[in-house]
Chain A
Amino acid sequence: MKKMFIPLAVLTAAMFAYAPVAIANAPYESTMLLIQKIFYFHVPAWMAMYAGIAVCGIASGIYLFKGRPAADRLAVAAAELIVLFGAIGLVTGPLWGRKAWGVWWQWDARLTMALLLELVFIAYLLVRAYGGPGSDKLAAAVGIFGMAVSPFVYVSVNIWRTVHPLNTVVPTLKAGMFGPFWFCAMAFLLLFTLLLTLRMNLAEEQAMLDDLYLADEE
């Protein structure tokens, strides 16, 4: 992965440089018009967040049941990215909602659950930062819990009455919107992979330094 980092970084930068052109050329949505173009960053940010939730949950499970430190480092790296991409989703959503619904925020099922999911992973990071000895296992349990509740956030729009657009929007995208959307989604998933690699590198160096200090004390 380290050999692939620079070419992937160049590819991602090129994709993000072209993304505004693709978004500008995409057709306007009939009722929301210009503001709907937030969709091309908003939904891919959530997709990157869900990728992070899968990585964090699975790595937390491996750490909790097999005790592999590398899995723990991967889970922490993914949790930071979940909070990052979740924050992008939670900020871009209200900017869209202000124009489309006339309000910044609505305490409906989808929005509230998305906020709670973000808070679960903020809690994960707080436990890691201030939990003291043994907090790694507690945080791993929080990571698994976060992964377990995430599907409910996704299906919430189908179960409860909500102002949020339904999940059927993405699979039924028309040709002019389909291409730019999946282009942006791929760019965000590539960005997620790059940031995860970068954060893993930091976690490995921190672990190496900790090992050196521990060996020195002995």
Chain B
Amino acid sequence: MTNRLFTVVGLVLLSAQVFAFQAPSGQTPTPAGQAPPGQSEFVPVDQLPPSEQLPAAPLLVAAYAFAWLAVFFYVWTVWRRLNKVEADMRVFERRHGQGREGASGVNRTNPR
């Protein structure tokens, strides 16, 4: 009984293997909506097809765009800091002017 069971299981496995190895040779087109079968082997090629090659133009444009953006960003930060310093300078001068006017007893905004 046990020997017969082993024989049946062995035959099933053998036939499954034979079927599995034969299947790729007789590949049929995959019906729409079904996942493609697993790849059974990798075939090396020397050259990538043109559709798969990394194009140089986007990288070149990105490089030049980054250079320009970096310079403009830096100029913008300097301009912002310069504006802030000039605003601080005006605040200081206004406060300093008012302080001097207050100390001398003259207040133009409030004559009383």
A interface residue numbers (CB < 8 A to B): 20, 33-35, 37-38, 41-42, 45, 80-81, 84, 87-88, 91-92, 95-96, 98-99, 191, 195, 198-199, 201-202, 205-206, 208-209, 212-213, 216
Contacts and interface: CB of A to CB of B under 8 A. Distances in A.
A34 B57 CA distance: 7
23 contacts: A20-B64, A34-B56, A35-B56, A37-B60, A38-B60, A41-B67, A81-B74, A84-B70, A88-B70, A88-B71, A92-B63, A92-B67, A96-B63, A99-B56, A99-B59, A195-B74, A195-B75, A202-B78, A205-B85, A206-B81, A209-B88, A212-B89, A216-B96
B78 A199 contact: yes
Interface in B64-93: 64, 66-67, 70-71, 74-75, 78, 81-82, 85-86, 88-89, 92
Interface of B: 54, 56-57, 59-60, 62-64, 66-67, 70-71, 74-75, 78, 81-82, 85-86, 88-89, 92, 96
For the complex of A and B, list the 4 residue pairs with the smallest distance between their C-beta atoms, beginning with the closest: A35-B56, A34-B56, A92-B63, A95-B63
A51 B89 CA distance: 32
A38 B71 CA distance: 16
B53 to A, nearest CB: 9
A213 B95 CA distance: 11
B59 A95 contact: yes
B68 to A, nearest CB: 9
B71 A42 contact: no
B82 A201 contact: yes
Contacts of A198: 75, 78
A80 B75 CA distance: 11
Given A209-B92, A213-B92, A87 B60 contact: no
A181 to B, nearest CB: 15
B65 to A, nearest CB: 10
Contacts of A191: 71
A212 B99 CA distance: 14
